[in-house]
Structure 1
Amino acid sequence: MPQELDPGSTIFFHLTIDGESLGTFNTCEGLSSSVEIHQHQEGGNNGFVWQLPSRVTFSNITLTRPLTPDTSKVAAWISSVTTGIHRPTAQIAALRADGSLVARWGLIDVLPVNWRGPSLNPESPAVATETLEITHHGFTDAGAA
């Protein structure tokens, strides 16, 4: 009898941009979308107000991890924006400690918007971390990213 895996236990997140790995991250925040609603009051119909969908918006995604050699890949991707904007597809995979997949999200038209490197202070030693913030134009089939 196969052992059931805990469906919600994610340990790390793997980020790929156009199929190229940018490494794994410990945290991933901002995987969300919302639909703006337009309220329309129909004349003569006082029983309710129409709730009509108008625009879908997607929040920025923030990924954080301890400093790794993959930082140079992130820096190269950010530097490429200065030579011309290319908005690739991306994929974020939520993985368990054993590397098995929990969930995967494909992202359309990804662009890096913020990167923060480590604070290096010998008076308060801590793990050197980096944070990458990306924006996108929506979700896609995760297998296609």
Structure 2
Amino acid sequence: MEPFATSTLFRVAIGPFALGSFTSCTGLGCTVEYEERREGGLNGHVWRLPTRVSYSNVVLTRPSTRETAAVAQWVSHQVARPLRVTGEIVALRPDRRPLTRWVLDGVAPARWQGPSFSATDSAPAIETLELVHQGFLNLPG
């Protein structure tokens, strides 16, 4: 068994666009709705059947880097010609080897907040990218 490993970065690619590494990734999840069905003669049992799955938005953040321009370019490309494509988020170990990955179907931008700059603030300029998607895809192997 492999010892517990931590991730320090999340590498993101959407279709042909390599968007670089992000320091935070939240929202990888889904919610399954269920419908209850009662069957005649089974008074002590209610069937709970799955009906819909909804996927939460994925929110990625990082300090502004050279790759900030790649995100702005991808968002501009999507505004001009919207196209939902496959995206990949790879959690990287401290030595930059992949820890785990998620492949998202039908990715599109929900929101991008570019960095804010202030001469009086010594904090790094942070950008935020929020993605919508239609679900997770399995990787072969």
TM-score computed with the length of structure 1 as normaliser: 0.89
Question: Matched residues in 1 for 2:79 and 2:118: separation?
Answer: 30
| Paired amino acid for 1:104 | R
Where does 1:42-53 land on structure 2 (aligned, <5 Å)? 42-53=39-50
Question: Matched residues in 1 for 2:19 and 2:83: separation?
Answer: 16
Secondary structure (helix, strand or coil) at the match of 2:106 reads: coil
The answer for unaligned runs of 5 or more in structure 2 is none
Q: Does 1:126 align with 2:123?
A: yes
The answer for unaligned runs of 5 or more in structure 1 is none
Computed over aligned residues only, the root mean square deviation of the Cα atoms, in angstroms, reads: 1.8
- Larger proportion of strand: 2
Q: Does 1:37 align with 2:34?
A: yes
TM-score computed with the length of structure 2 as normaliser: 0.92
Structure 1 residue 25: Cα displacement: 0.2
Counterpart in 1 of 2:21?
Answer: 24
Conserved? CA contact 1:117–1:130, under 8 Å: yes
* Total equivalences in the alignment: 141
Question: Matched residues in 2 for 1:39 and 1:19: separation?
Answer: 43
| Paired amino acid for 1:28 | C
Question: Matched residues in 2 for 1:82 and 1:103: separation?
Answer: 30
- The percentage of counterpart residues that share the same residue type is 41
Conserved? CA contact 1:7–1:102, under 8 Å: no
Residues 115 and 6 of structure 1: CA distance in aligned 2, closer, same or farther (over 3 Å): farther
Structure 1 residue 6: Cα displacement: 4.0
